[in-house]
Amino acid sequence: MAEAKPEKLLVDGRRLDGRRPDELRPLRIKAGILKRADGSAYIELGKNKILAAVYGPKEMHPRHLQQADVAVLRCRYNMAPFSVEERKRPGPDRRSMEISKVIREALEPVLFLHLYPRAVIDVFIEILQADAGTRTAGITAASVALADAGVPMRDLVAGISVGKVDGTVVLDLMKEEDQWGEADMPVAVMPRRKCITLLQMDGNFTPQEFRQALDLAFKGVEQIYEAQKEALKEKYLPSLEEGR
């Protein structure tokens, strides 16, 4: 059943869940949780729960899909039927195909695809529970999963959405803000190089609000990047220290 629009999304500078405009939702990332994938990661961002799994690089089959000089990066973003309020019909749809495409484009710039001609790297992003910002949280998890798979990378990729609610620019929209707010702008960044690899926008910003939103996204990305590195250290530092 569709929920009614709350009268206000911001009261005395606080959002519906008590956050200030520049605060992220609680964030948790864990690297390497699936035994049978080459690399994997799990992320919780607020009520979002997302798994990312990586297979490869491995020889591409069928062979006619091989690229002679580079590896192909294949991404599949998929929402579980139980991940949203109204049961999601299983299988691909226009939205998931678009999101899979922009996720691939957001991740490609950090990979050295020319190192693996004729190969494929498969990235699966499974949305177990959705509460807005799933494409960006999916990118965050996928880049940790790629690192966990030992795929050489120039940088990680960290994603977050920014937007506008009740005339105020806010970080990390939750479902109600995504649904009822005035603007939603998912952004993905290579944190060390400060390069943007994804920027989409739904709604309107003034040029000044756009600048402010982008600054806020970069601040959010810094926190996400720290959590990504922590997740990888948590998995790999103990074994590195043992080997000393």
Which stretch in 68-76, 84-92, 105-113, 187-195 sits in contact with ligand CDP by CB under 6 A?
Answer: 84-92
Taking the least distance from each CB to ligand CDP, the nearer of 66 and 200 is: 200
For 74, phi and psi rounded to 5 degrees?
-115, 125
Tell me how far, at minimum, the Cβ of 100 lies from ligand CDP, in Å: 12
Nearer to ligand CDP (CB atom), residue 119 or residue 125: 125
- Cβ–Cβ under 8 Å, residues 54 and 110: no
| Rg of the chain taking only CA atoms, in angstroms | 18
Give 120 or 187: the residue with its C-beta nearer to ligand CDP.
Answer: 187
Rounded Cα–Cα distance for residues 161 and 63 (Å): 38
List the structure tokens of 97.
Answer: 């195909």
**Within 179-238, which residues bind ligand CDP (CB under 6 A)?**
186
Per-residue x/- marks for ligand CDP, 97-136, CB under 6 A? ---------------------------------xxxxxx-
Characterize the bridge pairing of strands 183-190 and 10-11: unpaired
User: Is residue 178 near ligand CDP by the rule CB under 6 A?
Assistant: yes
Q: Which stretch binds ligand CDP (CB under 6 A): 17-25, 32-40, 80-88, 213-221?
A: 80-88
Q: How far is the CB of 199 from ligand CDP (least distance, A)?
A: 13
CA distance 240 to 238: 5
Amino acid at 225: Y
Which residues, other chains included, contact 47 with Cβ-Cβ below 8 Å and sequence gap of 6+? 25, 129, 130, 131, 174, 175
* Residues near ligand CDP (CB under 6 A): 84-85, 88, 95, 130-135, 161, 175, 178, 186
